[in-house]
Amino acid sequence: MELLLIGDTTSAMQIPSLEEIKRNSTKQTKTNVNHTWVHSAQGDQIKDDIGKIGEQAVFKYLTKKYTASNYEIIPISSNLAGKKGNDAADYDILLKNDKMITYIDVKTTTGSNQSFYMSAKEKKVLDSLASDKNKTYNIYHVYGVSKTDNAISKFEIFDEYSLSRANYQPVNFLISFEK
C-alpha cells in the first residue's frame, strides 16, 4: 500500500469539487412505453470526477517513479489524453519498455475497503493477456478519496496473480426478450 497526495497530483488541472458538481447537476427522467427510469447526471458526474482524480494521481505517480528509466508511460483514457483518449480501450495507462507492456486500469473509490467494480469488457482484456508473457494487466485501486478536499489517499496495486484469486460477483445483467 502506498500513499498519494491527491492535491499535488491534480493541481495542474481544474477539477471541480464534488460539492460544485452536486450543485450544477440535474436528474433526467426517461420514459419508454413499458418503463420509466431516473438517470442521475449528478451521480454519474461525481463518479466520473472521482475516477479522473485517481487516474491523474496514478499517472503522476508513474511519471515520477519511471522518469529516469527506459519506460514509456502512455495516457490512454480521455481523463489523461483529452480528446485523443480512448475510453473504450478498457484500461487507462500503458507502461512500456522493450520487454514488457503493462496495461493499467485505475479504480478510484471514496471508501476504505478493497471492493470495486470491473466491467465485463475490462475482465475480458485481463483474461486475454493472461497467456502473453510480454504483456500484463494491473489494477491500481486508489481508495479513501475525500469527497470534500484534496487529502492524502492510499492505493494498492493488484497484479494478474492477485486478480486471478479475486472473487468476481456478477452484479449487473442485461435482460432482453424476443418479440
Distance CA 168, CA 8 (A): 34
Confidence of residue 3 (pLDDT cuts 50, 70, 90): low
pLDDT score of 13 more than 50: no
pLDDT at 151: 67
pLDDT in tens, 52-97: 989 999 999 999 999 888 899 999 999 999 999 999 999 999 999 9
Helices (H) and strands (E) in the chain, counts: 6, 8
Domain topology for 2-9+44-164:
Trna Endonuclease; Chain: A, domain 1 (3.40.1350)
Number of Cβ atoms within 10 Å of the Cβ of 78: 16
pTM of this structure: 0.76
